[in-house]
Chain A
Amino acid sequence: NAGVTQTPKFQVLKTGQSMTLQCAQDMNHNSMYWYRQDPGMGLRLIYYSASEGTTDKGEVPNGYNVSRLNKREFSLRLESAAPSQTSVYFCASSRTGGYGYTFGSGTRLTVV
Protein backbone atom coordinates (compact mmCIF):
# COMPACT_ATOMS: atom_id res chain seq x y z
CA ASN A 1 0.00 0.00 0.00
CA ALA A 2 2.54 2.57 -1.22
CA GLY A 3 0.02 5.33 -2.04
CA VAL A 4 1.92 8.32 -3.46
CA THR A 5 5.68 7.98 -3.84
CA GLN A 6 7.95 10.97 -4.41
CA THR A 7 11.61 10.99 -5.33
CA PRO A 8 14.05 12.30 -4.30
CA LYS A 9 13.36 13.13 -0.64
CA PHE A 10 16.09 15.76 -0.48
CA GLN A 11 17.95 17.73 -3.14
CA VAL A 12 20.38 20.62 -3.22
CA LEU A 13 20.77 22.50 -6.51
CA LYS A 14 22.92 25.38 -7.63
CA THR A 15 21.18 28.38 -9.17
CA GLY A 16 20.56 27.71 -12.85
CA GLN A 17 20.64 23.92 -12.62
CA SER A 18 17.67 21.86 -13.76
CA MET A 19 16.01 18.87 -12.21
CA THR A 20 12.86 16.78 -12.31
CA LEU A 21 10.85 15.72 -9.29
CA GLN A 22 9.15 12.39 -9.75
CA CYS A 23 5.77 11.30 -8.43
CA ALA A 24 3.89 8.04 -8.84
CA GLN A 25 0.62 6.78 -7.37
CA ASP A 26 -0.72 3.25 -7.29
CA MET A 27 -4.34 3.98 -6.36
CA ASN A 28 -5.67 4.34 -9.93
CA HIS A 29 -6.52 7.98 -9.23
CA ASN A 30 -7.38 10.20 -12.17
CA SER A 31 -6.19 13.56 -10.80
CA MET A 32 -2.71 14.51 -9.64
CA TYR A 33 -1.27 17.71 -8.19
CA TRP A 34 1.98 19.47 -7.31
CA TYR A 35 2.09 21.82 -4.32
CA ARG A 36 4.82 23.79 -2.67
CA GLN A 37 4.90 24.54 1.03
CA ASP A 38 6.74 27.53 2.41
CA PRO A 39 6.85 28.70 6.04
CA GLY A 40 3.75 30.72 6.86
CA MET A 41 2.32 30.25 3.35
CA GLY A 42 0.47 26.98 3.66
CA LEU A 43 0.14 24.83 0.55
CA ARG A 44 0.13 26.52 -2.85
CA LEU A 45 -0.87 24.71 -6.03
CA ILE A 46 1.75 24.77 -8.79
CA TYR A 47 0.18 22.59 -11.49
CA TYR A 48 -2.43 19.88 -11.65
CA SER A 49 -3.58 17.17 -14.00
CA ALA A 50 -7.30 16.44 -13.90
CA SER A 51 -6.84 13.30 -15.98
CA GLU A 52 -4.24 11.53 -18.07
CA GLY A 53 -3.26 13.72 -21.00
CA THR A 54 -4.26 17.06 -19.43
CA THR A 55 -2.34 19.56 -17.33
CA ASP A 56 -3.31 23.00 -16.03
CA LYS A 57 -1.66 25.83 -14.16
CA GLY A 58 -2.34 26.40 -10.52
CA GLU A 59 -1.67 29.40 -8.34
CA VAL A 60 2.14 29.60 -8.71
CA PRO A 61 3.21 27.96 -12.02
CA ASN A 62 6.04 30.30 -13.07
CA GLY A 63 9.41 28.59 -13.31
CA TYR A 64 7.95 25.08 -13.48
CA ASN A 65 6.78 22.60 -16.09
CA VAL A 66 4.95 19.33 -15.66
CA SER A 67 4.38 16.10 -17.53
CA ARG A 68 1.61 13.59 -16.94
CA LEU A 69 3.55 10.64 -18.29
CA ASN A 70 0.70 8.15 -17.80
CA LYS A 71 -2.10 7.63 -15.30
CA ARG A 72 0.36 6.74 -12.52
CA GLU A 73 3.10 9.34 -12.96
CA PHE A 74 3.21 13.14 -12.82
CA SER A 75 6.58 14.87 -12.86
CA LEU A 76 7.57 18.44 -12.02
CA ARG A 77 10.53 20.06 -13.77
CA LEU A 78 12.56 23.08 -12.81
CA GLU A 79 14.41 24.21 -15.93
CA SER A 80 16.62 26.82 -14.29
CA ALA A 81 16.43 26.69 -10.52
CA ALA A 82 16.33 29.92 -8.50
CA PRO A 83 16.75 30.44 -4.74
CA SER A 84 13.08 31.46 -4.58
CA GLN A 85 12.23 27.86 -5.47
CA THR A 86 13.72 26.60 -2.22
CA SER A 87 10.72 24.86 -0.68
CA VAL A 88 9.14 21.56 0.22
CA TYR A 89 7.28 20.06 -2.72
CA PHE A 90 4.33 17.73 -2.31
CA CYS A 91 2.65 15.57 -4.90
CA ALA A 92 -0.93 14.44 -4.31
CA SER A 93 -3.59 12.44 -6.11
CA SER A 94 -7.35 12.04 -5.92
CA ARG A 95 -10.08 10.09 -7.58
CA THR A 96 -12.76 11.77 -9.67
CA GLY A 97 -15.40 13.37 -7.50
CA GLY A 98 -12.98 14.54 -4.86
CA TYR A 99 -13.12 12.92 -1.45
CA GLY A 100 -9.82 14.51 -0.57
CA TYR A 101 -6.25 14.01 -1.65
CA THR A 102 -3.58 11.49 -0.77
CA PHE A 103 -0.22 13.22 -0.37
CA GLY A 104 3.31 11.96 -0.81
CA SER A 105 5.90 12.54 1.90
CA GLY A 106 7.50 15.47 0.09
CA THR A 107 10.77 16.56 -1.53
CA ARG A 108 12.82 19.12 0.36
CA LEU A 109 14.62 21.25 -2.25
CA THR A 110 17.29 23.82 -1.50
CA VAL A 111 18.62 26.09 -4.25
CA VAL A 112 21.89 27.82 -3.40
Chain B
Amino acid sequence: GQQLNQSPQSMFIQEGEDVSMNCTSSSIFNTWLWYKQDPGEGPVLLIALYKAGELTSNGRLTAQFGITRKDSFLNISASIPSDVGIYFCAGQLFKAAGNKLTFGGGTRVLVKP
Protein backbone atom coordinates (compact mmCIF):
# COMPACT_ATOMS: atom_id res chain seq x y z
CA GLY B 1 0.00 0.00 0.00
CA GLN B 2 0.93 3.66 0.00
CA GLN B 3 3.62 4.79 2.41
CA LEU B 4 4.06 8.26 3.82
CA ASN B 5 7.56 9.17 4.98
CA GLN B 6 7.46 11.86 7.59
CA SER B 7 10.57 13.69 8.77
CA PRO B 8 12.09 14.39 11.09
CA GLN B 9 10.97 11.63 13.45
CA SER B 10 11.57 13.94 16.39
CA MET B 11 12.78 17.45 17.04
CA PHE B 12 13.52 19.76 19.93
CA ILE B 13 12.14 23.27 19.95
CA GLN B 14 13.11 26.36 21.85
CA GLU B 15 10.44 28.91 22.55
CA GLY B 16 10.30 31.46 19.77
CA GLU B 17 11.89 29.26 17.12
CA ASP B 18 10.33 28.45 13.75
CA VAL B 19 10.19 24.73 12.99
CA SER B 20 9.17 22.71 10.00
CA MET B 21 8.42 19.11 9.14
CA ASN B 22 7.50 17.39 5.92
CA CYS B 23 5.88 14.37 4.45
CA THR B 24 6.63 12.62 1.17
CA SER B 25 4.90 9.84 -0.69
CA SER B 26 5.58 7.59 -3.62
CA SER B 27 1.93 8.03 -4.62
CA ILE B 28 -0.19 11.02 -5.54
CA PHE B 29 -2.79 12.18 -3.04
CA ASN B 30 -5.76 14.46 -3.62
CA THR B 31 -5.98 15.71 -0.07
CA TRP B 32 -3.29 16.30 2.53
CA LEU B 33 -4.09 16.72 6.20
CA TRP B 34 -2.05 17.59 9.27
CA TYR B 35 -3.01 16.42 12.75
CA LYS B 36 -1.61 17.09 16.21
CA GLN B 37 -1.79 14.63 19.10
CA ASP B 38 -1.39 15.80 22.68
CA PRO B 39 -0.32 13.24 25.31
CA GLY B 40 -3.19 10.95 26.28
CA GLU B 41 -5.50 12.30 23.58
CA GLY B 42 -6.54 11.44 20.06
CA PRO B 43 -5.19 13.35 17.04
CA VAL B 44 -6.90 16.63 16.23
CA LEU B 45 -7.11 18.07 12.73
CA LEU B 46 -4.98 21.22 12.27
CA ILE B 47 -5.04 21.95 8.55
CA ALA B 48 -6.58 20.37 5.45
CA LEU B 49 -5.23 20.98 1.93
CA TYR B 50 -7.26 20.15 -1.16
CA LYS B 51 -5.38 21.56 -4.15
CA ALA B 52 -1.84 21.13 -5.48
CA GLY B 53 0.22 24.20 -4.64
CA GLU B 54 -2.24 25.36 -1.97
CA LEU B 55 -0.73 27.22 0.98
CA THR B 56 -2.98 27.43 4.04
CA SER B 57 -2.47 29.01 7.45
CA ASN B 58 -4.10 28.42 10.80
CA GLY B 59 -2.70 30.89 13.31
CA ARG B 60 1.03 30.19 13.65
CA LEU B 61 0.75 27.08 11.48
CA THR B 62 1.29 27.09 7.73
CA ALA B 63 1.03 24.06 5.49
CA GLN B 64 1.52 23.53 1.78
CA PHE B 65 0.28 20.90 -0.66
CA GLY B 66 3.20 20.13 -2.96
CA ILE B 67 2.89 20.80 -6.68
CA THR B 68 3.66 17.16 -7.51
CA ARG B 69 0.87 16.09 -5.07
CA LYS B 70 3.39 13.73 -3.50
CA ASP B 71 4.47 15.90 -0.60
CA SER B 72 3.42 18.41 2.01
CA PHE B 73 5.11 20.45 4.69
CA LEU B 74 4.01 22.05 7.95
CA ASN B 75 5.67 25.09 9.51
CA ILE B 76 5.17 26.32 13.05
CA SER B 77 6.28 29.89 13.62
CA ALA B 78 7.37 31.36 16.95
CA SER B 79 6.95 28.05 18.79
CA ILE B 80 5.52 27.98 22.31
CA PRO B 81 5.63 25.21 24.94
CA SER B 82 2.12 23.97 24.10
CA ASP B 83 3.32 23.11 20.58
CA VAL B 84 4.82 19.97 22.14
CA GLY B 85 3.14 16.80 20.86
CA ILE B 86 3.12 14.43 17.92
CA TYR B 87 2.29 15.81 14.48
CA PHE B 88 0.95 13.46 11.83
CA CYS B 89 0.55 14.02 8.13
CA ALA B 90 -2.13 12.09 6.28
CA GLY B 91 -2.99 11.68 2.62
CA GLN B 92 -6.26 10.78 1.01
CA LEU B 93 -6.98 9.56 -2.47
CA PHE B 94 -9.91 10.97 -4.45
CA LYS B 95 -12.99 8.85 -3.70
CA ALA B 96 -10.90 6.50 -1.54
CA ALA B 97 -12.94 3.54 -0.38
CA GLY B 98 -14.36 4.43 3.00
CA ASN B 99 -12.57 7.81 2.81
CA LYS B 100 -9.47 6.03 4.07
CA LEU B 101 -6.47 8.08 5.12
CA THR B 102 -2.84 6.98 4.99
CA PHE B 103 -0.86 8.33 7.94
CA GLY B 104 2.79 9.20 8.26
CA GLY B 105 4.79 7.86 11.20
CA GLY B 106 4.62 11.17 13.09
CA THR B 107 7.04 13.88 14.18
CA ARG B 108 7.49 14.12 17.92
CA VAL B 109 8.08 17.71 19.00
CA LEU B 110 9.82 18.13 22.33
CA VAL B 111 11.08 21.11 24.32
CA LYS B 112 14.84 21.68 24.51
CA PRO B 113 16.03 21.02 28.04
Give A contacts to B, CB under 8 Å.
4, 31, 33, 40-43, 45, 48-50, 56, 58-59, 90, 92, 94, 96-106
17 examples of A-B residue contacts, CB within 8 angstroms: A31-B99, A33-B98, A40-B105, A48-B98, A50-B98, A50-B99, A56-B97, A56-B98, A92-B42, A94-B99, A99-B48, A100-B90, A100-B101, A101-B43, A101-B45, A102-B45, A103-B44
CA distance A100 to B99 in the complex (A): 8
Given contacts A42-B105, A99-B48, contact A105 B98 (CB under 8 A): no
- Give bound CA distance, A106 to B106, whole Å: 17
- Interface size of B by CB at 8 A reads 26
Contact call A43/B99, Cβ cutoff below 8 A: no
- Are A59 and B33 neighbours in the complex by a CB distance under 8 Å? no
Main secondary structure of the interface of A (DSSP, over half): strand
Binding site for A on B (CB under 8 A): 1, 6, 9, 31, 33, 35, 40-45, 48, 88, 90, 92, 96-101, 103-106
Chain A residues closer than 8 Å to B92, beta-carbon distance? 98
Specify which of B1, B6, B48, B100 lies most central, judged by the most chain A CB atoms within 10 Å of its CB: B100
Contacts of A50 in B (CB 8 A): 97-99
Determine if B98 and A31 form an interchain contact, defined as CB atoms under 8 angstroms apart: yes
Residue in A closest to B105 when the chains form the complex, CB atoms: A42
A98: which of B41, B99, B103, B106 is its contact (CB, 8 Å)? B99
Q: Contact between B99 and A42 (Cβ–Cβ < 8 Å)?
A: no
- How far, in angstroms, from A58 to B103 measured CA to CA in the complex? 13
Cβ of B1: which chain A residues have Cβ within 8 Å of it?
Answer: 59
Q: How far is the CA of A4 from the CA of B104 in the complex (A)?
A: 22
Known: A100-B35, A106-B41. 8 other contacts (CB 8 A): A49-B98, A56-B97, A97-B99, A98-B31, A99-B48, A101-B43, A102-B45, A105-B41
Contact B31 A103 (CB under 8 A): no
Contact of B43 among A41, A56, A59, A103 (CB under 8 A): A103
Docked CA distance A43–B44 (Å): 13
Contact between chains at B42 and A104 (CB < 8 Å) = yes
Q: Give CA–CA (A96, B99) in the complex, Å.
A: 7
